[in-house]
Structure 1
């Protein structure tokens, strides 16, 4: 479960330390879940991404969120908490053990009525969903992001925001292919194809934020 790329920051260490330690911290059960995940080395979104999500949700005020990649349910719980009791989160994951942890954490936080977990492969589930979602968050297998993109754009509301996490691979995504370890070459190729697609698609507006291991933010042009 360890994500080595989260320990290869793309910003200066002192900036990263401030973003993770000096900005407003989560409190209560959600804060405890975040601390435990970091202590156990569970790959949840880093704190600089947490505070960005809080700001984004406060500004956008989404009512529906779709998440691809539940893990232990931390980010789904963050979304639900930030949206308040009327917000609804749908989260997809293919791994039974992760879903088991997610269900337990969501129940502990009292968020069962707000979060709907879907078990299975996103490639099979996404085509069955109907529009629209105000916010979509992709945080799953990096080599699959491009495969999921069209369905996510179809499901995204006109004024919605699509966020794709961990697209920089510790800053190596723009390195020459010959410098990339063989086991990471498929991810390297697919992420570059994803970035080329979204930054050259005339119907989209995209920006790349150096939060965590890179957060890609996409909206539709009106």
Structure 2
């Protein structure tokens, strides 16, 4: 845990109940070991959507569709979501879950490699998003960032999940197992970059597994 587990557990007891279809999807994902956004991250996202009132949301990393469906419940009525996923096993479940939730008119699922699709989206001048949720392959965050900056509108929010890696990102690389050192160094690079970019104002929040919120200034 990044913060005191007892405090987190108490805060989660204050969380409002999910709609039935979302609760069932959450429980299925957890039982199958599918990584989905944590309770406190859900609360934080819901707050950002309510306060920011985005019109176009881009999600990188749909998994089984839980977070896209979650956001569609709390975003403004006229908002639309584009979400990206490349793992076929997860795509099958995401398609079904989005259809079962009757969200096909609000959520567009793009299938394929995220970097390729982001480049394609960025090449189209009409594509811009005022809310981007990045929750994909952690080692690829730095590769995604240039394309995300092209797609993020001025004043828009870039929200990045899992940036603190259960707190291990704060450890020395020599305290990290050898197999995890690459993702450790890349996440540190990503965090340093977005907190020092002149175009962004960024806060690192110890919510869930660590979240950054970045506003594009120009």
**Same fold flag (TM > 0.5):** yes
Q: CA deviation at 1:145?
A: 0.2
2:169 equivalent to 1:173: yes
Matched pairs, number: 214
1:93-108 matches, cutoff 5 A: 93-108=85-100
2:180 equivalent to 1:188: no
Alignment correspondent of 1:210: 206
Partner SS state of residue 212, structure 2: strand
1:6-21 matches, cutoff 5 A: 9-21=1-13
Show structure 2 runs of 5+ residues with no match. none
Q: Which stretch of structure 1 is more off in the superposition, 196-205 or 95-104?
A: 196-205
Q: CA deviation at 1:52?
A: 1.0
Paired residues of 2:130 and 2:153 also in contact (CA < 8 A): yes
Paired residues of 2:65 and 2:97 also in contact (CA < 8 A): yes
Alignment correspondent of 2:195: 199
2:25 equivalent to 1:25: no
Alignment correspondent of 2:27: 35
Structure 1 residue corresponding to 2:75, chosen from 59, 65, 83: 83
Q: Could you tell me the TM-score, scaled by structure 1's length? A: 0.92
Q: CA deviation at 1:32?
A: 1.9
Partner SS state of residue 156, structure 2: strand
* CA distance in 1: counterparts of 2:77 and 2:20, whole angstroms: 17
Q: Which stretch of structure 1 is more off in the superposition, 12-21 or 178-187?
A: 12-21
Partner SS state of residue 97, structure 2: helix
Show structure 1 runs of 5+ residues with no match. 1-8
Alignment correspondent of 1:6: none
Q: CA deviation at 1:124?
A: 0.6
Paired residues of 2:54 and 2:76 also in contact (CA < 8 A): no
2:89 equivalent to 1:71: no
